[in-house]
Chains A and B, each alone.
Chain A
Amino acid sequence: MIGARALRLEDPVLLRGAGRYAADTYHAGELHMRVVRSPVAHGRVRAVDVADALRLDGVVAAWTYDDVADLPAIGFRLTPREELLPYRQPVLARGVVRYVGEPVAVVFATSAYLAEDAAERVVVEIDQLPAHIDPDADPVAWVDAEQATWAAGLGTPLPEQDSEATRFVTEYGDVEAAFATGAGRIIELDAVIGRHTGVPMECRGLVAHYVEADQELVIDGAAKVPFWNRDAIADVTGLAPSQVVVRETHVGGGFGPRGELYPEDVLVALAAMRLRAPVKWIEDRQEHLLATNHSRGQHHRLRALVEEDGFIRALDATFTLDQGAYVRTHGATVGSLTSSMLPGPYVIPNFRVEAHVRLTHKTPHGTYRSPGRYEGTFARERLVDKIAAELGLGREQVRRRNFIAVEDMPYERPIQAMGTSMVHDSGDYRLLLDKMSEGYDFPGIRAEVAARRAAGEAVGFGFGYFVEKSGIGPVEGARISVDTRGRVSVTCGASSVGQGVDTVLAQVAAETLGIPHDEIRVVRGRTDRFGYGRGAFATRLSVMAGSAVANAAAALRDKAVRVAAHELKVSVEELELADGAVRLVADPGRGLSLAEIARLLEPVCAVEIKEDPGLDADGWFRSDHMTYPYGLHAAVVRLDRGTGQTVVERYLVGYDVGRALNPTLVEGQIAGGVAQGLGGALYEEFLYADDGTPLCTTFMDYLIPTAHEVPPIEILITEDAPSPINPLGVKGAGEGGVTAVAAAIASAVDDALQRPGAITSVPIRPQAVHDLAARATGSRATG
Chain B
Amino acid sequence: MKPANFEYVRPASLEEALVELAKDPDESKVLAGGQSLVPMMNFRLARPERLIDINRIPLLEGVESVGDRVVIRARTRHLALQNLSMSTPLGSLLRTGAAHVGHLPIRTRGTFGGSIAHCDAASEWCLVAGLLDAEMTVRSQARGTRTIPASDFFWSIFTTAMEPDEILTEVSLPALDDSYRTGIAEFARRAGDFAIVAATGAVQVVDGVVRDARVCLGGVSEVPFRSAAAEQVLLGQEWSPRLLRDAAEAAADEVDPPSDSHGDGEYRRDLVRALLPRALAGAVR
Q: Do A and B come from one complex?
A: yes
Using a CB–CB cutoff of 8 Å, the interface residues on chain A facing chain B are 112-113, 116-117, 120, 284-286, 640-645, 683, 687, 695-696, 698, 700-701, 703, 705-706, 708-709, 765-767, 770-771, 774, 780-783
Contact A696 B191 (CB under 8 A): no
One of B61-69, B144-152, B270-278 contacting the partner:
B270-278
Q: Is B203 an interface residue, CB under 8 A from the partner?
A: no
- Within B170-213, the residues touching A (CB, 8 Å) are 187, 189-194
How near does chain A come to B261, taking the closest CB pair, in angstroms? 5
Contact with A along B245-262 (1 / 0, CB 8 A): 100100000000000010
Inter-chain contact A708/B191, CB cutoff 8 Å: yes
Least CB distance from B7 to A in Å reads 14
Given A687-B261, A695-B261: A706 in contact with B274 (beta carbons within 8 A)? no
Assess whether B190 is in contact with A708, with CB atoms less than 8 Å apart. Answer: yes
Chain A residues whose CB sits within 8 angstroms of the CB of B261 once the complex forms: 687, 695-696, 701
User: Once the chains bind, are A113 and B273 in contact (CB under 8 Å)?
Assistant: no
Contact of B189 among A112, A117, A703 (CB under 8 A): A703
A695 partner residues in chain B, CB cutoff 8 A: 261
- A642 adjacent to B191 (CB under 8 Å): no
Q: Are A643 and B274 in contact (CB under 8 A)?
A: yes
A643 touching B187, Cβ below 8 Å: yes
Q: How far is the CA of A113 from the CA of B3 in the complex (A)?
A: 7
Contact A285 to B1, CB < 8 A, known contacts A643-B274, A782-B274: yes
Asked if B4 and A117 sit within 8 Å, CB to CB, the answer is yes
Judging by beta carbons under 8 Å apart, are B43 and A770 in contact? Answer: no
A774 is contacted by which of B192, B270, B271, B275 (Cβ under 8 Å)? Answer: B270
Chain A residues whose CB sits within 8 angstroms of the CB of B267 once the complex forms: 644, 766-767, 770-771
Q: Decide yes or no whether B5 CB sits under 8 A from chain A.
A: yes
Q: A286 near B263 (CB under 8 angstroms)? A: no
Residue of A nearest to B1 (CB): A284
Which of A643, A765, A781 has the most B CB atoms < 10 Å from its CB?
A643
A780 to B248, CA, bound (A): 13
Is B27 among interface residues, defined by CB-CB distance under 8 A? no
B271 touches A117 (CB 8 A): no
- Measured CB to CB, the closest approach of chain A to B69, in angstroms, equals 35
Q: Which of B248, B264, B277 contacts A767 (CB 8 A)?
A: B264
Closest Cβ neighbor of A283 among chain B residues: B1
Contact of B271 among A112, A643, A687, A698 (CB under 8 A): A643
Establish whether residues A116 and B43, one from each chain, have CB atoms under 8 Å apart when the complex forms.
no
Q: A696-B261, A766-B187, A766-B263 are in contact. List 14 more A-B contacts (CB 8 A).
A: A113-B5, A117-B5, A120-B44, A285-B1, A286-B43, A641-B274, A642-B271, A642-B278, A695-B261, A700-B193, A708-B190, A770-B270, A774-B270, A782-B277
Complex A-B, nearest 3 residue pairs according to Cβ-Cβ distance, in ascending order: A642-B274, A708-B191, A284-B1
B2 interfacial contact with A, CB 8 Å = yes
Question: Which of A683, A696, A698, A765 is close to B190, meaning CB atoms less than 8 Å apart?
Answer: A683
Q: List 12 A-B contacts (CB under 8 A).
A: A113-B2, A117-B4, A642-B273, A643-B275, A645-B187, A700-B194, A703-B193, A709-B190, A709-B191, A767-B263, A780-B273, A783-B278
Nearest chain A residue, comparing its CB with the CB of B197: A643
A117 surroundings in chain B (CB, below 8 A)? 4-5
Whether the pair B191, A783 counts as a contact (CB closer than 8 A) is no
A783-B274 contact, Cβ under 8 Å, with A113-B2, A286-B1, A286-B43: yes
Q: Which residues of B contact A116 (CB under 8 A)?
A: 2, 4, 44
The answer to whether A782 and B248 touch across the interface, beta carbons within 8 angstroms, is yes
* Interface residues in chain B, defined as those with a beta carbon under 8 Å from any beta carbon in chain A: 1-5, 43-44, 103, 187, 189-194, 245, 248, 261, 263-264, 267, 270-271, 273-275, 277-278
CA distance A642 to B245 in the complex (A): 12
Once bound together, how far apart are the Cα atoms of A382 and B5, in whole Å?
53
Known contacts A642-B273, A780-B270, A780-B273, A706 near B191 by CB under 8 Å: yes
Which residues in B have their C-beta under 8 angstroms from that of A782? 245, 248, 273-274, 277
By beta carbon, the residue of chain B nearest A112 is B2
Residues in A whose Cβ lies below 8 Å from that of B1:
284-286
B277: A residues at CB distance < 8 A:
782-783
Name the distance in Å between A182's Cβ and chain B's nearest Cβ.
Answer: 45
Chain A contacts for B245, CB-based, 8 A: 782
Q: Complex formed: what's the CA distance from A782 to B275 in Å?
A: 8
Given contacts A770-B270, A781-B274, A783-B274, A706 and B2 within 8 Å (CB-CB): no
The smallest beta-carbon distance between B1 and chain A, in angstroms, is 4
Q: How far is the CA of A645 from the CA of B192 in the complex (A)?
A: 15
**A698 contacts across to B, CB distance below 8 A:** 43
Q: CB distance B191 to A766 under 8 Å?
A: no
Q: Using Cβ atoms and an 8 Å threshold, which residues of chain A touch B187?
A: 643, 645, 766
Of all chain B residues, which has the CB nearest A687?
B261
The answer to whether A706 and B190 touch (CB under 8 A), given A284-B1, A285-B1, A696-B261, is yes
Chain A positions within 8 Å of B193 at CB level: 700, 703
Residues of B within 8 A of A708 (CB): 190-192
A766 (CB) vs chain B CBs: closest residue: B189
CA distance A783 to B278 in the complex (A): 7
| B44 cross-chain contacts in A, Cβ below 8 A | 116, 120
Cα A645 to Cα B196 with chains together (Å)? 12
Query: When chains A and B are docked, how far (Å) is the Cα of A286 from the Cα of B1?
Result: 8
What chain B residues lie within 8 Å of A696 (beta carbons)?
A: 261
A683 touches B264 (CB 8 A): no
Cβ of B270: which chain A residues have Cβ within 8 Å of it?
Answer: 642, 770, 774, 780-781
Q: Given the complex of chains A and B, what is the CA–CA distance between A285 and B1 in angstroms? A: 8
Give the CA-CA distance A703 to B2 in the complex, in Å.
Answer: 22
Please name the residue on chain B nearest to A782 by beta carbon: B273
Q: Using Cβ atoms and an 8 Å threshold, which residues of chain B touch A780?
A: 270, 273
Whole-angstrom CA separation of A701 from B187 in the bound complex: 15
Q: What's the nearest-Cβ distance from chain B to residue A56, in Å?
A: 11
Nearest chain B CB to A196's CB is how many angstroms away? 14
Which residues does chain A contribute within 8 Å of B43, judged by CB atoms? 286, 698
A706 engages B264 (CB within 8 Å): no
Separation in Å of the B100 CB from the closest CB of chain A? 12
Q: What B residues does A771 contact at CB under 8 A?
A: 267
A508 CB → nearest B CB, Å: 40
Task: Report the bound CA distance from A767 to B189 in whole Å.
Answer: 10
CB of A303 to closest CB in B, whole Å: 32
In angstroms, how far is the closest chain B Cβ from the Cβ of A781?
Answer: 7
Whole-angstrom distance from the CB of B158 to the nearest CB of chain A? Answer: 15
Complex-state Cα separation, A687 to B261, whole angstroms: 8
Q: How far is the CB of A8 from chain B (nearest CB, A)?
A: 27
Closest to B42 in A: A284
Taken together as a complex, chains A and B put the C-alpha atoms of A696 and B271 apart, in Å, by 23
Q: Is the CB of A683 within 8 A of B274?
A: no
Least Cβ distance of B176 to chain A in Å? Answer: 26
CB distance from A768 to the nearest CB of B (A): 10
Min CB gap B184→A, angstroms: 15
Bound Cα distance A587, B103 (Å): 64
CA distance A700 to B277 in the complex (A): 28
Which residues in A have their C-beta under 8 angstroms from that of B263? Answer: 765-767
For residue A643, which residues in chain B have a CB less than 8 angstroms away from its CB?
187, 271, 274-275
User: In the complex, what residues of A have CB within 8 A of residue B273's CB?
Assistant: 642, 780, 782
CA distance A610 to B139 in the complex (A): 91
Closest to B189 in A: A703
The smallest C-beta distance from A208 to any residue of chain B, in angstroms, reads: 21
Instruction: Give CA–CA (A774, B3) in the complex, Å.
Output: 46
